[in-house]
Chains A and B, each alone.
Chain A
Amino acid sequence: MNDFLNRYLPNVMENKSEIWESTYETLYMVFMTSLFSAIFGIALGVILVATDKGGILANRWVYSILEKIVNFFRSVPFIILIAIVVPVTRLLTGTSIGMNAAIVPLVIGIVPFYARQIQNALLEVDPGIIEATQAMGSGPVEIIFRVYLKEGLTGIIRASSVTVINLIGLTTMAGAIGSGGLGSLAINKGYNRFQLDITFVATILILLLVFVCQFIGDYFTRKSTH
């Protein structure tokens, strides 16, 4: 077995520890970004739905301003976004390079996307149910937490797994500011130094990560459907 690996993946075998480290970095970035994005993205998605025309807290100004911000950040290509938000990154993390610095643009890049997904998921909640709970005397906070987030759970889970998969893609670009991770490994070690086996293995690992996320997402989607 070892002979086989040494023969066909020589560079991989030589840089084993670096590959593990890169995998850890990717997982770390995905996890931390997911954590922050979940909070901000769900909050933003809920606010969009609530303040939309006919929503439970309809407010044209808040809605149109937030919507424009979301659209703006969704339109900026991520690789450029990383550069643009450097001042913010520095402010929040004290540095503009490395794994932690990468989390800032990743969150800023993924939150608008996620918020939109959440918004769509919540819009699928039957408006009749919202009306019924209003008729029962539920207030906005109760409706958000006990109706929208519960009735929309299947959609929220689906949106989350799509978002995490998207996020894995974005982390590979964060290599541009020295974040490390499997993306920069594939480019810097693999591509730039003609060690194609490293690129290959990095890709496999990323795909594996995507499949696992997809699987977990599907599992919970199924579990939450009645």
Chain B
Amino acid sequence: MISLSRINVTFNTGSRTLVAARDIDLRVDEGDVFGIVGYSGAGKSTLVRVMNLLQRPSSGEVVVNGQKLLELTPKELRSARKKIGMIFQHFNLMKSRTVYDNVLYPLKSSRMPKSEKDRKVRELLQLVGLSDKLASYPSQLSGGQKQRVAIARALANEPRILLCDEATSALDPKTTLSILDLLRDLNRELGLTIVIITHEMQVVKEICNKVAVMEEGAIVEQGDIVSIFSEPKQPLTRDFIHTATHFGQTMEKIMSHPSLARMENDDLLCKISYVGSRTSEAIVSDIATRFGVSANILFGNVEILQQTPVGSLIVVLSGGRSELEKALAYLRSLDVTVDRLDSPGKAALGGASVV
């Protein structure tokens, strides 16, 4: 659907050269909800603008809907863009036009008969749940409503792709969820391929099936969401995931209050992570009955990503040394990842944690 290969984007600002995208390869398949996360200035917005050539790359190839965009004439590019919808952080609605006219705008140049256009606009506004706001001006709407109008406008020419540039970043958490719900419905019902640029992993977690993590213009890690969430390889990816799951804060609390762990000599502080239908309870009771190892659960979290549970537990395992070894071996044989963490006491002394 969208394929970027060896994309480089550099800006010349007088004496300095700024690299906004370096050597990026990216593939978005039909029906994907593809998330691109990164902190501000990572080059995400530049990258999404390459996908409809609002930003021309310095080198590389852009193929969207089977067309090599860089080889198109301006006129061809304009008609290609009609098939790539885009929404923005600040909605970018025309203030001088009503909601109805904003949605009508992209249809004005089409040869559709007037009655057809009217039907289309009403249908789109119904789809986003704003049928009662036809005659309102954008200034009379809330942020969430504005974004809904923007979505209706972006869908007017029936694009196969919707690019979302920080589309929920200016919205409160509740409104964010409702917009994400709408996007998910569009993805499912219209088969719309969606690319989402965001700095919030929460957004990615909510609706994406694939994710790429960007830093300093490069993609540091990409893959399907379940494997990224269950086995993040890069520190930056882990950072993002931990902010989404509040894992980092929890660890900090546990580490700064050794009493929480209440550990004996041979006790192990572990992080147990697992993917799939296996429930945490079964794991804990399993090792208790099989090896007599008791697990004190300090923290547990289960995310349902694309219908797959991804869980993590922080536990203190206690029992005899050999039983502990056996229990760990057993857990590893179940495809459960076990990471030993420094005990709070040591962490307090050494200050290092292996999370």
- In-complex Cβ contact of A151 among B96, B106, B150 (8 A): B96
Question: Given A139-B74, A139-B78, A146-B108, does the pair A134, B54 have CB atoms closer than 8 Å?
Answer: yes
Stretch at the interface among B35-43, B84-92, B264-272: B84-92
Question: Given A128-B92, A129-B92, A226-B137, does the pair A138, B78 have CB atoms closer than 8 Å?
Answer: yes
Q: Does B139 contact A (CB under 8 A)?
A: yes
Q: Does B128 contact A (CB under 8 A)?
A: no
Complex contacts, A226 vs chain B, CB 8 Å: 95-96, 137-139
Are B97's CB and A150's CB within 8 A?
Answer: yes
Question: Given A128-B92, A129-B94, A226-B95, does the pair A135, B52 have CB atoms closer than 8 Å?
Answer: yes
Question: Given A135-B54, A139-B78, A226-B139, does the pair A126, B108 have CB atoms closer than 8 Å?
Answer: no
Q: What mask results when residues 133 to 168 of chain A are scored 1 for a CB within 8 Å of chain B, else 0?
A: 111111100100011001101100000000000000
Complex contacts, B163 vs chain A, CB 8 Å: 135
Q: Does B157 contact A (CB under 8 A)?
A: yes
Are A137's CB and B90's CB within 8 A?
Answer: no
Q: Does A132 contact B (CB under 8 A)?
A: yes
Within 12-64 of A, Cβ neighbours of B (below 8 Å) are at: none
B198 to chain A: closest CB distance in Å?
Answer: 18
Q: How big is the B interface, by class?
A: 20 to 34
Q: Does B82 contact A (CB under 8 A)?
A: yes
Residue in chain A with minimal CB distance to B82: A137
Q: What mask results when residues 135 to 149 of chain B are scored 1 for a CB within 8 Å of chain A, else 0?
A: 001110000000000
User: Interface majority SS on A: helix, strand, loop or mixed?
Assistant: helix
Within 51-90 of B, Cβ neighbours of A (below 8 Å) are at: 52, 54, 74-75, 78-82, 84, 86, 88, 90
Number of A residues, CB within 8 Å of B: 21
Within 92-129 of A, Cβ neighbours of B (below 8 Å) are at: 126, 128-129
Complex contacts, A224 vs chain B, CB 8 Å: 96
Assembly CA distance A154 to B95 (angstroms): 11
- In-complex Cβ contact of A136 among B97, B139, B157 (8 A): B157
Question: Given A135-B52, A146-B105, does the pair A128, B90 have CB atoms closer than 8 Å?
Answer: yes
Q: Does B275 contact A (CB under 8 A)?
A: no
- In-complex Cβ contact of B94 among A131, A142, A151, A154 (8 A): A151
A147 to chain B: closest CB distance in Å?
Answer: 7
Complex contacts, B81 vs chain A, CB 8 Å: 134-137
Are A136's CB and B92's CB within 8 A?
Answer: no
A168 to chain B: closest CB distance in Å?
Answer: 29
B108 to chain A: closest CB distance in Å?
Answer: 7
Q: Does B47 contact A (CB under 8 A)?
A: no
Q: What mask results when residues 186 to 200 of chain A are scored 1 for a CB within 8 Å of chain B, else 0?
A: 000000000000000
In the complex, 27 of the A-B residue pairs with CB atoms within 8 angstroms, ordered by the A residue number, are A128-B92, A129-B92, A131-B54, A131-B88, A132-B88, A132-B92, A133-B105, A134-B81, A135-B52, A135-B81, A135-B163, A136-B81, A136-B105, A136-B153, A136-B154, A137-B79, A137-B157, A138-B109, A139-B74, A146-B108, A150-B96, A151-B94, A153-B96, A224-B96, A226-B95, A226-B137, A226-B138
Residues of B within 8 A of A (CB): 52, 54, 74-75, 78-82, 84, 86, 88, 90, 92-97, 105-106, 108-109, 137-139, 150, 153-154, 157, 163
